């Protein structure tokens, strides 16, 4: 059933006629995707076995000592991979127009490194972002009038700033990596220019 709903959601985002998409009731069916995630990819044991290698690579990729001159790093993953990583991160979201934890086409799980130029303190910003269903359907380019929908990861010690929620770097890395199964997360080599 969840695969059917995913197919219908993809049809919505491809601008198929409403008459061909669950009689115009696609948003009422999206919670089935949440139930699917709850019963499969969001199970901690499954996430640890199948998502630890990706989360470990993500956290290693943002460490300044590993890649001091890298301005950004892009890892591409399927929605099931993102679901497992978010389970390990203990991070869920509720974006307007979507069911809890939904991972729409073209969405992103973002980790940003920040450093205070005066103090040298390092911070990590973590958020999930996606376009709204209607914006996807209209092929709307994100802009000031059509911003990406976003929800930020938080933990004690994080603070709200003009750029978003910034968390002390090492505390965030430790918290995000707590549930990684090290036996399922071999080191991943990244070849950077």
Can you give the CATH number for the domain in which 9 is found?
A: 3.40.50.1240
In a domain, 189, yes or no: no
In a domain, 191, yes or no: no
In a domain, 174, yes or no: yes
In a domain, 176, yes or no: yes
Overall average pLDDT of the 65-91 stretch: 84
Q: Summarize pLDDT for 131-145 with one digit per residue, the tens.
A: 998 898 888 999 999
C-alpha 137/C-alpha 99 separation (Å) is 17
pLDDT of 189 higher than 80 = no
In a domain, 83, yes or no: yes
pLDDT of res. 13? 67
Task: Provide the percentage of residues in the chain whose pLDDT is more than 90.
Answer: 51
Phi, psi of 66 (to 5 degrees): -80, -40
Phi, psi of 181 (to 5 degrees): -90, 105
In a domain, 128, yes or no: yes
In a domain, 193, yes or no: no
Question: What SS3 class is residue 160?
Answer: strand
Overall average pLDDT of the 92-102 stretch: 90
Average of per-residue pLDDT values in the chain: 85
Q: How many domains does the chain have?
A: 1
Q: Which pLDDT band, with edges at 50, 70 and 90, does 120 fall under? A: very high
Centre a 10 Å sphere on the Cβ of residue 3 and count the other Cβ atoms it contains.
Answer: 10
pLDDT of 70 higher than 90 = no
Centre a 10 Å sphere on the Cβ of residue 123 and count the other Cβ atoms it contains.
Answer: 21
pLDDT of res. 9? 64
Overall average pLDDT of the 92-96 stretch: 93
Q: Summarize pLDDT for 27-56 with one digit per residue, the tens.
A: 677 677 777 777 776 789 999 999 999 999
Beta bridge partners of 113: 124
In a domain, 190, yes or no: no
Range of the domain at 83: 2-184
CB of 48 closer than 8 Å to CB of 15: no
pLDDT of 66 higher than 80 = no
Overall average pLDDT of the 167-184 stretch: 95
pLDDT of res. 131? 94
Q: Is the pTM of this model over 0.85?
A: no
pLDDT of res. 158? 98
C-alpha 38/C-alpha 101 separation (Å) is 9
Q: Summarize pLDDT for 138-170 with one digit per residue, the tens.
A: 889 999 999 999 999 999 999 999 999 999 999
């Amino acid at each position: 059933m969840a695969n059917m709903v995913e197919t219908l959601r993809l049809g919505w985002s491809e601008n198929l006629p409403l008459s061909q998409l669950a009689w115009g009731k696609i948003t009422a069916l999206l919670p089935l995707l949440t139930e699917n995630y709850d019963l499969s990819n969001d199970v901690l044991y499954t996430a640890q076995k199948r998502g630890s290698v990706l989360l470990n690579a993500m956290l290693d990729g943002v460490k300044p000592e590993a890649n001091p001159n890298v301005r950004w790093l892009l890892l591409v993953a399927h929605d099931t991979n993102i679901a497992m990583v978010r389970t390990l991160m203990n991070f869920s979201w509720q974006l307007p127009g979507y069911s809890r934890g939904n991972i729409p086409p073209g969405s992103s799980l973002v980790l940003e490194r920040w450093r205070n130029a005066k103090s040298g303190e390092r911070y990590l910003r973590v958020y999930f972002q996606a376009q709204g269903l209607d914006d996807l359907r209209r092929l709307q380019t994100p802009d000031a009038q059509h911003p990406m929908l976003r929800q930020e990861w938080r933990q004690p010690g994080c603070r709200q700033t003009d750029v978003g929620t910034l968390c002390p770097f090492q505390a965030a890395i430790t918290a995000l990596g707590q549930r990684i199964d090290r036996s399922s997360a071999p080191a991943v080599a990244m070849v950077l220019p």
